[in-house]
Amino acid sequence: MNARRSFVLVSIFLTALADDVSAQRGRRSVDVERPEPPARFESEELGIAFDAPQGVRIYTPAAPGPYGSVLGEGRFVYLESSGMRNASAVAKFFANATEAELKSYKDILDANPPQSKLEGFKKRSVRFVTIGEKADKQALEFIYDTQSVRIRQIVFVHNGKGITFTCTSPQAQYGLAEAEMFKPIFSRLEFR
């Protein structure tokens, strides 16, 4: 065999060996894109959809990632920021909800919220806001603190279902989480 042919055969053998060793370790010698969670959430059942802000991962019961134990029992989406530690949102729905119940819930939150039993509880605000890409859906917003965490709940009724998004972030980064994650989600909500 000539030297050039020997070199080619040795190169092929070493490449195949490297691929085999990498595959056994769960890696490949070439870059492979790993599937990312979807960048858009859509639910025909609930009649809502939204595009995730940049850097926000969406997990659902069908694709729960590491949040399988969180999703279920009405919780239908978990949102996680890839750039902000501990900034997340979880959404839950309740069947047979009405606008009147939403107004009653506001009265409860104004008077004596159930969350007041949490350690370090401090109510920041309770008010009605508008959400959605057309800014035409009335929602109840409840913002409160517990120890070092700020929580923003957005509750609305759509197609006879009550939907609650609970957004959490450490108080120190809440302004950034609100601007880059929470506010964009609620301004992109589509109602069908």
Kindly list the distances between the CA atom of residue 22 and the CA atoms of 11, 17, 19, 30, 87, in Å, as whole numbers in the listed order: 16, 9, 5, 10, 35
Question: Six-digit token pair at 87?
Answer: 């900034």
Token readout for 19 is 């691929």
Q: Structural domain boundaries of the chain?
A: 1-32, 40-191
pLDDT in tens, 152-165: 999 999 999 999 99
Q: Note the maximum CA span of the chain.
A: 90
The pLDDT assigned to 12 comes to 35
Rounded distance between C-alpha atoms, residue 170 and residue 154, angstroms: 18
Determine the CATH number of domain 40-191: 3.40.1000.10
pLDDT of residue 35: 52
Residue numbers in the chain where pLDDT is lower than 70: 1-38
**Cα distance between residue 3 and residue 15, in whole Å:** 18
Distance from chain centroid for Cα 153: 14
- Kindly report whether the global pTM for this prediction surpasses the value 0.95: no
Backbone angles phi, psi at 177, to 5 degrees: -60, -40
Query: pLDDT digits over 134-157, tens only?
Result: 999 999 999 999 999 999 999 999
User: How far apart are alpha carbons 103 and 108 in whole angstroms?
Assistant: 9
- Separation between Cα atoms, residue 33 and residue 147, nearest integer Å: 40
Tell me how crowded residue 132 is: count the other CB atoms within 10 A of its CB: 19
Q: Which residue's entry shows tokens 């609620």? A: 186
pLDDT of residue 154: 98
pLDDT of residue 38: 62
Nearest C-alpha neighbor of 181 from the set 165, 192, 157: 165
